[in-house]
Chain A
Amino acid sequence: MPKSPFIRVLLLIGTLLSAIRVAAATPVIDVEIKNHLFIPSEIIIPENTKVKLVIHNRDETDEEFESYELNREKVIIGNRKGVIFVGPLPAGEYPFFGEFFPKTAQGKVIVK
């Protein structure tokens, strides 16, 4: 049965809305801190998109996620996790580090 233009428009709007809903569901990326290292140490995220980083600190000690480039700073308590929202960002590399153990705790967010 041929669809009327009205129904077609409705369907189109519906498809668009669901596409937006999918886009609006913030992607979640899990990161671990283990022996004062970030695993993975490189996090790849899409351009112009907000993502939710869930950082699981597997060490006994607290760590502070810090990045001047990302404008983010947060203490992640030992044996617990913390949530940090990052982006939307233009393409590029954004280094971050663990402020409490910066010698080893280094990583970067790569936006492409």
Chain B
Amino acid sequence: MLLNSVIIVLREVLEAALIFSILLALSKQSQIHRTWIIWSLLIGMFGAVVYGINIPLVSEWFDGVGQEVVNALMQYTVYIMLLFYIIILLLYASKPAAGARKLLVIMMVLITSIAMIREGAEILLYFFSVTRSVNHYAAVMMGMIIGASIGISIGFLFYYLLMNIREKWSMIFGLGLLILVSSGMISQATLLMIQADWLPAQMPLWNTSDFLSEKSVLGQLLYALVGYEATPTALQASMYLGGLILPVFIIVLLKLKLKLKFKG
């Protein structure tokens, strides 16, 4: 019971913790005060409770695949917001304006709270299900606290890693990680749409589970960090690749444009 609750909560917390830590590091670079976290936590937790309570209803939507569709839409939304975030961040870095700063804060709050809503709702469902059927409150609670702490610690680790390298590199690494996390989201969202039969199902392209299992610790970390998938379909892999290339393309384009502006 204990180990299981550690794993469940860790898996859910890890992704949100990574996004938090990267955005936090990037916003520190842009001299944005970290009070936005309080808003994300408030909205995220409130949203998680509301979504958790309504999952029974949502599940019934679209002939029983409402959960998949809603979760996928949340992830696609987060991806698009991350794209906007990256664009505004680069513009802001070249010319700091108060308006852009406000937009950055709003984006960060929305991105992190949506991530928390999805993951938080699942943790709540787990908690109420398990505590209703077994009398292991203490073990479950302990496991959940340990799981959450490990997840948050990994987040802190990434944050301090990003903060303790040279500023230029931390921007590059931060953006790179953010792009990887967001393409992972696109691939997960696409998988959910396939699971719901809203997107066409295909045979898996390859199977790398013998090489690196999704069950392993490294597999889990890579799943949260870069959306690692041992048996992707062609559609999922191309969405992942597209999700990766698009922001890189935008960044290169912006860099060229901004440089031209400096010369002019």
Contacts and interface: CB of A to CB of B under 8 A. Distances in A.
Contacts of A87: 201
A89 B231 CA distance: 10
Interface stretch (A3-11, A12-20, A38-46, A78-86): A78-86
B67 A75 contact: yes
Given A48-B203, A50-B201, A74-B68, A85 B132 contact: no
Given A61-B133, A83-B65, A88-B202, A71 B191 contact: yes
Interface residues of B, number: 35
A87 B201 CA distance: 7
B96 interface: no
A48 to B, nearest CB: 7
B interface, over-half SS = helix
Given A60-B133, A102-B4, A68 B203 contact: no
A100 B130 contact: yes
A88 B203 contact: yes
A62 B128 contact: yes
A26 B201 CA distance: 12
A99 B8 contact: yes
Interface of B: 4, 8, 55-56, 59-60, 63-65, 67-68, 122, 125-126, 128-130, 132-133, 191, 194-197, 201-204, 209, 213-215, 229-231
Interface of A: 26, 36, 48, 50, 52, 54, 59-64, 68-69, 71-72, 74-75, 77-78, 80-85, 87-90, 99-103
